[in-house]
Chain A
Amino acid sequence: MSKVKRILSRNAVPILFAIVCLLGVFYANRPFQFLLMEIVKRMARNSFLVLSLIIPVVAGMGLNFGIVLGALAGQIALILSTHWEWAGIGGLALTALLATPLAVLFGTLAGLVLNKAKGREMITSMVMGFFANGVYQFIFLFLVGTLIPFDNPALRISTSPGLRNTVDLTRVRGVLDNIWTVQYGFTKIPIVTFLVIALLAVAIWAFFKTKLGQDFRAVGQDRHIASVAGIQTDRNRVLAIVFSTVLAAWGQIIFLQNIGTLNTYNSHEQVGTFAIAALLIGGASVTRATIGQALMGTFLFHVLFVVSPSAGQTIFGSAQVGEYFRVFVAYGIIAISLALHAWRGKSLGKASMEEDVSA
């Protein structure tokens, strides 16, 4: 009995969202095949990005709003690979390879900045994301074609500076997804993409069984104690952010090969918010995140995403309501998680004091 209760209370968030999703599915009244197709597509697209958030959480740096930097690295690599006309799965792999050093560089910079903002990592990483976005836009909207000579009709219109607003990724569109698909009704299941996601999940799991993973966990629990034990905390924190950034870069490449077009100036904007919301809906918190929570959260969040407009149409007579509702949920869940985290942090201090009184 108490065990059931514990499982319920520990998973209160995903259970609550599962209920909301079920209601949504009921009111949306869309055919099962449609839902399945949408969910499979979105899971394949987004899971990798959500998984990239886990390592910094375990290393005690909270939710890495800075995965936007990784997404940017992925996009820059894609822009270049489009320019050089890399194609096929080989081209995509090469793109990922090209994104890696960029992501390592961005991640290192981000990690160094975050080490200067200990205790304020999340807001700093968020602002850093906005800042990096500004610089990215400055480069690709202004410098490219003016100061940086760049002439490629696929990427820019020669009459105005900057890249096109949307870039067709014809050469790599679906190259990962389509290696091997299994048809189920209307749904094409991209087996290889899911294998890649599974591989990442296993890799993260195995990583936390290594010495370095154990060091990350130790630093995440208490920087001071870890450093007294001789663990290089600052270095480990930078590494954690580098890992996350690199994974986010690859995740963004997988995401975009699935979509097939690059929205040069907005594809990455909501990456952080949506991935973080998905992770939290899975039951993760600022200090605890598991692979299961990431995958469960991605699933629930995207069910909600798919059914909201239709459910909104049924309930309120407006699909728009549903669309706003899902954005509200994304922001709201983050706000609640952050507040609960801070709140608990404060009352923990109080609780330990009260224990003292009774002693």
Chain B
Amino acid sequence: MKDRVSKVYHGFGLPRLIISAFLLTLIIVAAGTELSVPGLLSDALVRIGQNGIYVLAMVPSIQAGAGLNFGLPLGVIAGMVGVLVSMENSLLGLGGFAVALLVAIPLGVVAGYLYSLLLNRVAGQEMMVGTYVGFSIVAGMCIFWLMAPFKNPALIWPVGGQGLRVTLTLADTFGGTLNNFLNVKLFGLTIPTGLLLFYALLAFLLWLFLRSKPGVAMEVVGRNPRFAVASGLNINAYRSVGITLSTVLAAVGYVVYAQSFGFAQLYNGPLMTAFPAVAAVLIGGASTREAKVRHAVIGVVLFQTLLTVAMPVTNQLIEGNISEIARVIVSNGMILYALTRVTGGEQA
């Protein structure tokens, strides 16, 4: 019995136990206020499914030895183009969603592969280079959004403006398609079944990949490149696989995010997408060198629940909307902690 407790404890880790306990306390506190606990939890479920894929995207990048993927906006933009193409053609419902994915995925593959070629040349500095490549692409795409050849009046500024609007609504096309699929209401709790199923499916596929021969090879490359070479593996090829996979997940993640959020925010919208995702996977127990699907799932559940539950509760105590600031402090604090932690001592 004692063994089992300690095993669960070590598997889950102290920080996560503390956060869970904190969350539980918050929920109990919330029950005492006029806040609706099922409402809060429903929100949390939506946000978990909405952000979960971004966090999954961190796993292949870390496992391939490229560190936390701060270049996430690259994939996000591929996803954006997918969403826009689908909306341009006024495609509705699941069809619209599927077309967005069909466009986003190949774009993500191309962008991710090119990105991996760059990262393979800057091995060791992937995170910093990735951050600014991400920023640059977002800024460069701002120009593209202004000049892009989209015609659908729902997308472009009405008279007088030029280019795409800053915020597009998906309500008339495929917003909420996944969230409302097999939607279940239980004890006042709204469960976005489709969204969560889709997320679970991707998590499962990723888990499966990591257990396959190429997945294992990718992990070896990330953990000890010199061992990998001695075992006849092509390091750059497997790093490319990891980085491309991460970018594609970000692209898919965006399409899912947009349909759940109901809006697409262009221009500087995707600038900071990487940071909460990075923070979530770290909170889930990953490090800059090691991440499992489990970490991504636990991380997004804890982080997003924390944001959705904790903030309204604290707002009851402190005036004003604190959630954005709390997100900034928690996520950057978490990243800072991971960056300054001595890494495994592999180089004493």
Contact = CB atoms under 8 A, between A and B. Distances in A.
Interface in A306-342: 316-318, 320-321, 324-325, 327-328, 330-332, 334-335, 338-339, 341-342
Interface of A: 113, 116-117, 119-120, 122-124, 126-128, 130-131, 133-135, 137-138, 141-142, 146, 160-162, 316-318, 320-321, 324-325, 327-328, 330-332, 334-335, 338-339, 341-343, 345-346
Contacts of A119: 124
B153 interface: no
Which of B132, B147, B162, B329 gathers most chain A CB within 10 Å? Answer: B132
Contact of B320 (A133, A161, A339): A161
B335 interface: yes
Given A117-B339, A320-B162, A123 B128 contact: yes
B146 A134 contact: no
17 contacts: A117-B339, A123-B131, A123-B339, A127-B339, A134-B328, A134-B332, A137-B328, A141-B320, A146-B319, A328-B139, A334-B136, A335-B132, A339-B125, A342-B124, A343-B122, A346-B122, A346-B123
Q: How large is the interface on B (under 10, 10 to 19, 20 to 34, 35 or more residues)?
A: 35 or more
B147 A316 contact: yes
Contacts, number: 131
A328 B140 contact: yes
Interface in B316-348: 318-320, 322, 325-326, 328-329, 332-333, 335-336, 339-340, 342
B129 interface: yes
Contacts of A345: 124-125
B264 to A, nearest CB: 18
B142 A339 contact: no
A262 B135 CA distance: 26
Contacts of A133: 328
Majority-rule SS of A interface residues = helix
Contacts of B131: 123, 126
B329 A339 contact: no
Given A116-B340, A339-B118, A339-B122, A142 B136 contact: no
A327 B127 CA distance: 21
Contact of A331 (B122, B132, B319, B342): B132
A342 B125 contact: yes
Contacts of B122: 338-339, 342-343, 346
